[in-house]
């Protein structure tokens, strides 16, 4: 018992001394860190990013990571120059090019307290995250999705790539102007290409053309040789004037490599979209020779003349990246998000942020052009560049050969 | 119908499936481990070729590619066994544990490759995440010398590698003591050990051969396909496993026949269905599984279910 009493007495004294020391330290430290007039503390604002850094479209999307860093640097330089106390940081996750991966990432980012997410890349992925975004008021700014099926008003999804509705109409108009009367459509079975093919058919047939047959191939295959053989069979049978092709980087390289071996496919024009634009694996001597033999022409929604785009391409080199599909839209997505955050003083309120994004976009001009969104939250744009692949200055390159506006189609170089 | 192209695709795919499915059957019947990480060897074989091709300035001979892919694939497989499967076997774990462990191994290898590709892409500029077709220098020379330039290079490569591996396996299993010993282990490992066969060393050798031969299908793949990605193994895993299952995970000849059958079904049947009946090529996987289910029901390969392999069931039926 005496030992026990001694122990209790010791503990009480120890507690009192501890409290006294703690109070003293607390008072001193608290006094030092108390807010003072005219002194600001730095606040970190994290922007979530979900990109396809692995999987089917990764070869294009890995080039977007440095672009995000560039945009974040620009935002931080801006806040610093304005004397603001906001520091932006990206939280980048890989969604493996799958809709499930994108949804998991978006949920993870939301759980981490993030309220604006840049990405995902594909329309199928945007479709997968839409319900979660709507339910939780999570703002999604997708830089490369442009399926018309996702042009929905009053949701929390913005797209810095214009909807493909106008693009499909422009391509159909080009086909008619080029004297093409019949087309076989060949495309990957996914959200963007299915809907693009559907609208292309609609506009082409309204202009007097005919889509003779439509072949969709399954994504995620190891090889597409047998699909190309099916296409060749149909082209031999139906004798169309052209093939409309919609695919992406990995499958595009595969399809075009096999098509180059197929005599039946070398005798028709090829029209395509921006799906594999910028993908380096497509630029092999075999594929470029094929593209030249079939007068391949692609379309992509980029402003015709934009000094900001040229400056952006030049600056990208310092970040070790090259311009690929949608790279300018990635930059614009981060900038619009950041500027909206700055405008609201760093709020996390999704409705305030949503309104700020719409307002900021009205006056924003970036490498992708004017940022203005339409009633569906899709970037408004009515001009497109025409491109092909060619051998220029000793290297195989993607080259712009013309443009399409509301009123005219101009082809400056022969494909 | 452009039948010529379809036949070429079927031919090449037959060899790719044979080279990747036979070793899967071989590994299961010898070790009783169903290795889900097996398709990784195809991918690693392809990527050894891709990396060496870049290192040699895109002038790679088939002989070098074959040798390097075989050795690297074999070593990866052997390391898997020594570091994972062998320690598990000491603990006498169930086949489910092997299955889960090998699945985990698959993902580990997959992401190691992704990381390596991203680093290589940034450092060397070439896109390792989706690599275009590789043409072999020595095969091109052979084509020119024998005036075979009109034949696609991948047909020659597939024939050279496929026939060489086929002959080597036939000789190994039918004409050498080593092959007889390997068959002995496959039939009854305990009895083989009692008879003085060094089972441990032969299992090591089996894993090395399995990895090496499977990696050769990667050598063939990069010569045929327009794009090779780190997902290569993942994308052909279904056909790979299907062929091995049809072979009962025991019979090498039936696995080979199943590989040819699957390649024909995928290419020829699909082309016919598309051309004559307008069926879209997107149903490919459904057709593959349909064939597998049909075979499993009509003539179940009992080795796959843990029962007796074909040759024993045949004897039972005869009696």
Q: Are A295 and A391 contained in the same domain?
A: yes
The predicted pLDDT at position A11 comes to 63
Mean pLDDT of A315-327: 86
Q: Which of A189, A230, A253 sits opposite B271 (nearest CB)?
A: A230
Mean pLDDT of B231-253: 87
Examine residue A186 and state whether it is found in any structural domain, yes or no: yes
Examine residue A6 and state whether it is found in any structural domain, yes or no: no
pLDDT: which is higher, A32 or B139? B139
Nearest CA distance, A214 vs chain B (angstrom): 9
Examine residue B102 and state whether it is found in any structural domain, yes or no: yes
The predicted pLDDT at position B183 comes to 84
The predicted pLDDT at position A18 comes to 64
Lowest mean pLDDT among A129-138, A179-188, A195-204, B110-119: B110-119
The number of folded domains in chain B is 1
Q: Which of A58, A236, A251 sits opposite B2 (nearest CB)?
A: A236
Nearest CA distance, A108 vs chain B (angstrom): 20
pLDDT exceeds cutoff 80 at B122: no
pLDDT range class, residue B102, cuts 50, 70, 90 = very high
User: Is B227 in the A-facing interface, judged by CB distances under 8 Å?
Assistant: yes
Q: Which of A71, A62, A103 is nearest to A89 (CA)?
A: A71
Interchain proximity A262–B2, CB inside 8 Å:
yes
Q: Are A202 and A226 contained in the same domain?
A: yes
Interchain proximity B2–A233, CB inside 8 Å:
yes
For residue A87, what is the domain's CATH number?
A: 3.40.50.2300
Q: Which of B221, B225, B275 sits opposite A230 (nearest CB)?
A: B275
Q: How far apart are CA A260 and CA A256, in angstroms?
A: 6
Q: Are A256 and A402 contained in the same domain?
A: yes
Interchain proximity B2–A264, CB inside 8 Å:
yes
Measured CA to CA in angstroms, residue B201 lies from A261, A332, B31, B189 at distances of 47, 60, 12, 12
Q: Are A135 and A246 contained in the same domain?
A: no
pLDDT: which is higher, A407 or B131? B131
Q: Are A328 and A350 contained in the same domain?
A: yes
Mean pLDDT of B140-168: 93
Mean pLDDT of A385-404: 90
Q: Which of A166, A167, A202, A170 is nearest to A183 (CA)?
A: A202
Interchain proximity B5–A229, CB inside 8 Å:
yes
Which residue in chain B is spatially nearest to A66 when comparing CA positions? B122
Q: Are A359 and A256 contained in the same domain?
A: no
User: Is B54 in the A-facing interface, judged by CB distances under 8 Å?
Assistant: no
Interchain proximity B271–A226, CB inside 8 Å:
yes
* B196: Cβ contacts below 8 Å, ≥ 6 apart: none
- What are the tokens at B166? 């086929």
Examine residue A1 and state whether it is found in any structural domain, yes or no: no
The predicted pLDDT at position B1 comes to 66
Which residue in chain B is spatially nearest to A225 when comparing CA positions? B9
Nearest CA distance, B226 vs chain A (angstrom): 4
Mean pLDDT of A158-169: 89
Q: Are A154 and A178 contained in the same domain?
A: no
Examine residue B269 and state whether it is found in any structural domain, yes or no: no
Which residue in chain A is spatially nearest to B281 when comparing CA positions? A217
A47: preceding bond cis by omega (within 30 degrees)? no
| ipTM, 2 dp | 0.73
The predicted pLDDT at position A22 comes to 60
Interchain proximity A257–B280, CB inside 8 Å:
no
Lowest mean pLDDT among A112-116, B26-30, B216-220, B293-297: B293-297
* A73: Cβ contacts below 8 Å, ≥ 6 apart: none
Q: Is A380 helix (H, G, I), strand (E, B) or coil?
A: coil
Q: Which of A55-59, A374-378, B231-235 has the highest mean pLDDT?
A: A374-378
Mean pLDDT of A174-179: 93
Q: Would you tell me which residues 214-253 of chain A have a C-beta closer than 8 angstroms to some C-beta of chain B?
A: 215-218, 220-230, 232-234, 236-237, 249-251, 253
Interchain proximity B5–A225, CB inside 8 Å:
yes
Q: How far apart are CA A351 and CA B225, in angstroms?
A: 49
Mean pLDDT of A105-119: 93
Q: Are A83 and A106 contained in the same domain?
A: yes
Mean pLDDT of B30-35: 87
The predicted pLDDT at position B303 comes to 52
Chain B residues touching residue A251 (CB < 8 angstroms): 227
Mean pLDDT of A53-62: 80
Q: Are A81 and A174 contained in the same domain?
A: no
Q: Which of A58, A229, A254 sits opposite B6 (nearest CB)?
A: A229
Give the length of chain A.
415
The predicted pLDDT at position B182 comes to 87
Examine residue B247 and state whether it is found in any structural domain, yes or no: no
Nearest CA distance, B190 vs chain A (angstrom): 41
Q: Are A394 and A270 contained in the same domain?
A: yes
Nearest CA distance, B128 vs chain A (angstrom): 8
Lowest mean pLDDT among A5-9, A246-250, A345-349, A353-357: A5-9
Chain B residues touching residue A227 (CB < 8 angstroms): 281
Q: How far apart are CA B288 and CA B269, in angstroms?
A: 11
**Domain with A398 in it:** 165-300+384-411
The predicted pLDDT at position B308 comes to 47
pLDDT range class, residue A105, cuts 50, 70, 90 = very high
Pick from A230, A267, A280, A398 the residue to mutate for testing the B interface (most B CBs within 10 Å): A230
pLDDT range class, residue A5, cuts 50, 70, 90 = low
The number of folded domains in chain A is 2
pLDDT exceeds cutoff 70 at A20: no
Q: Are A192 and A212 contained in the same domain?
A: yes
Q: Are A153 and A173 contained in the same domain?
A: no
**Domain with B50 in it:** 3-234
Residue A164 and residue A199 in contact, taking contact as beta carbons nearer than 8 Å: yes
Examine residue A15 and state whether it is found in any structural domain, yes or no: no
pLDDT exceeds cutoff 50 at B4: yes
User: Is B118 in the A-facing interface, judged by CB distances under 8 Å?
Assistant: yes
pLDDT in tens, A180-205: 999 999 999 888 899 899 999 999 99
Mean pLDDT of B104-121: 88
Lowest mean pLDDT among A18-22, A360-364, B181-185: A18-22
Q: How many CB pairs under 8 A join A and B?
A: 128
Q: Which of B1, B225, B284 sits opposite A233 (nearest CB)?
A: B1
The predicted pLDDT at position A125 comes to 92
Interchain proximity A284–B281, CB inside 8 Å:
no
pLDDT exceeds cutoff 90 at B187: no
DSSP string, A282-325: G--HHHHHHHHHTT-EEEE---SS-HHHHHHHHHHGGGT----T
Examine residue B255 and state whether it is found in any structural domain, yes or no: no
Measured CA to CA in angstroms, residue B54 lies from B140, B223, B225 at distances of 18, 14, 17
Chain B residues touching residue A224 (CB < 8 angstroms): 226
Average pLDDT, chain A: 87
Examine residue B61 and state whether it is found in any structural domain, yes or no: yes
* A355: Cβ contacts below 8 Å, ≥ 6 apart: none
The predicted pLDDT at position A150 comes to 87
Mean pLDDT of A262-272: 94
pLDDT range class, residue B166, cuts 50, 70, 90 = very high
Examine residue B152 and state whether it is found in any structural domain, yes or no: yes
pLDDT exceeds cutoff 90 at B52: yes
Measured CA to CA in angstroms, residue A223 lies from A227, A252, A379, B136, B266 at distances of 9, 11, 35, 19, 11
Average pLDDT, chain B: 87
Examine residue A131 and state whether it is found in any structural domain, yes or no: yes
Examine residue A7 and state whether it is found in any structural domain, yes or no: no
pLDDT range class, residue A28, cuts 50, 70, 90 = very low
């Amino acid at each position: 018992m005496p030992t026990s009493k001694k122990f209790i007495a010791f503990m009480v004294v120890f507690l009192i001394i501890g409290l006294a020391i703690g109070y003293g330290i607390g008072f001193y430290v608290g006094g030092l860190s108390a807010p003072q007039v005219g002194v600001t503390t730095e606040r970190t604002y994290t922007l979530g990013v979900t990109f396809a850094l692995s999987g089917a479209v990764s070869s294009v999307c890995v080039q977007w990571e440095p672009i995000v860093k560039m945009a974040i640097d620009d935002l931080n330089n801006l806040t610093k120059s304005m004397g603001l106390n906001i520091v932006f940081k990206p939280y980048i996750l890989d969604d493996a090019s799958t809709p499930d991966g994108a949804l998991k990432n978006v949920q993870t980012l939301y759980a981490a307290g993030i309220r604006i997410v840049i990405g995902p890349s594909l329309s199928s992925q945007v479709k997968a995250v839409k319900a979660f975004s709507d339910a939780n008021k999570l703002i999604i700014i997708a830089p490369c999705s442009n399926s018309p099926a996702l042009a929905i008003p009053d949701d929390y999804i913005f797209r810095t790539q214009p909807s493909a509705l106008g693009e499909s109409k422009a391509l159909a108009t080009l086909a008619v102007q080029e004297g093409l009367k019949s087309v076989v459509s060949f495309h990957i079975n996914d959200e963007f290409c299915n809907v693009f093919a559907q609208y292309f058919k609609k506009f082409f047939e309204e202009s007097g053309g005919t889509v003779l047959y439509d072949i969709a191939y399954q994504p995620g295959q190891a090889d597409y040789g047998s699909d190309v053989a099916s296409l060749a069979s149909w082209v031999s049978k139906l004798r169309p004037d052209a093939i409309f092709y919609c695919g992406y980087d990995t499958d595009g390289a595969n399809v075009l490599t096999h098509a180059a071996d197929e005599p039946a496919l070398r005798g028709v024009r090829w029209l395509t979209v921006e799906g594999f634009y910028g993908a380096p694996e497509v630029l092999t001597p075999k594929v470029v020779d094929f593209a030249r033999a079939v007068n391949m022409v692609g379309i992509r929604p980029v402003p015709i003349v934009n000094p900001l785009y040229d400056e952006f391409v030049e600056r990208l080199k310092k970040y070790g990246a090259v311009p690929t599909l949608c790279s300018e839209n990635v930059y614009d997505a981060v900038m619009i998000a950041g500027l909206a955050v700055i405008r609201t003083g760093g709020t996390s309120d999704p409705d305030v942020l949503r309104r700020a994004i719409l307002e900021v976009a009205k006056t924003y001009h970036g490498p992708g052009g004017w940022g203005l969104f339409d009633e569906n939250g899709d970037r408004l744009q009515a001009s497109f560049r025409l491109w092909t692949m060619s051998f220029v200055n000793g290297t195989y390159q993607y080259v712009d050969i013309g443009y399409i506006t509301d009123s005219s189609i101009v082809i400056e170089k022969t494909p | 119908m452009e039948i010529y192209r379809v036949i070429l695709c079927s031919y090449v795919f037959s060899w790719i499936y044979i080279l990747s499915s036979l070793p899967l059957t071989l590994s299961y019947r010898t070790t009783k481990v169903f290795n889900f990480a097996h398709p990784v060897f195809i991918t690693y074989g392809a990527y050894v070729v891709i990396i060496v091709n870049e290192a040699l300035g895109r002038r790679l001979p088939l002989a070098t590619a074959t040798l390097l892919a075989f050795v690297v694939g074999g070593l990866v497989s052997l390391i898997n066994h020594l570091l994972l499967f062998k320690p598990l076997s000491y603990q006498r774990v169930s086949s489910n544990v092997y299955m889960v462990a090998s699945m985990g191994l698959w993902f580990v290898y997959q992401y190691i490759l992704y990381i390596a590709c991203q680093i290589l892409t940034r450092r060397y500029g070439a896109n390792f995440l989706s690599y275009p077709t590789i043409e072999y220098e020595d095969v091109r020379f052979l084509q020119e010398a024998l005036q075979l330039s009109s034949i696609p290079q991948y047909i020659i490569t597939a024939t050279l590698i496929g026939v060489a591996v086929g002959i080597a396996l036939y000789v190994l299993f039918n004409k050498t003591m080593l092959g007889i010993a390997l068959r002995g282990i496959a039939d009854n490992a305990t009895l083989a050990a009692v008879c003085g066969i060094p089972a441990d060393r032969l299992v090591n050798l089996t894993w090395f051969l399995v990895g090496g031969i499977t990696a050769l299908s990667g050598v063939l793949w990069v010569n045929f396909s327009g794009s090779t990605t780190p997902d290569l193994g993942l994308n052909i895993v279904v056909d790979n496993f299907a062929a091995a299952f049809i072979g009962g995970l025991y019979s090498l000849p039936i696995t080979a026949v199943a590989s040819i059958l699957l390649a024909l079904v995928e290419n020829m049947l699909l082309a016919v269905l598309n051309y004559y009946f307008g069926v879209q090529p997107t149903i490919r996987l459904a057709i593959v599984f349909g064939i597998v289910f049909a075979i499993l029901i009509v003539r179940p390969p009992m080795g796959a279910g843990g029962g007796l392999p074909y040759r024993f069931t045949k004897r039972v039926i005869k009696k």
